[in-house]
Amino acid sequence: MTVSKEPVMPPMALERIAVQCCKRCAHVLNSDSSETQLRCGLGYYLQPPLTRKQGRMDSYPVVEAQERCGRWRDSLKGVLKP
């Protein structure tokens, strides 16, 4: 039996990394007008809920499913660097 000597990340850390992409983000908007079918809705969700108004879909940036915005990249550094 061979024992791996590579460092193993805790399951919670791996789960957090897997979730931290546009495809799984709570702010993603599904869009038929985007070649990737996804747009970043962060600007929409930052508005107060009672006054929230959705703009035209082309006003939200197109994102890739595996892309990470600055919010994810910054929190990812915290996971990997204690």
Instruction: Show the tokens assigned to 42.
Output: 């962060």
| pLDDT values of the chain reduced to their tens digit, one per residue, 82 residues | 555 555 554 554 444 444 578 888 888 999 999 899 999 999 999 999 999 998 999 999 999 988 877 666 555 554 444 4
Distances (CA, A) of 36 to 15, 25, 49, 67, 69: 24, 15, 27, 11, 16
Give the span between the Cα atoms of 34 and 10, in whole angstroms. Answer: 36
pTM greater than 0.75: no
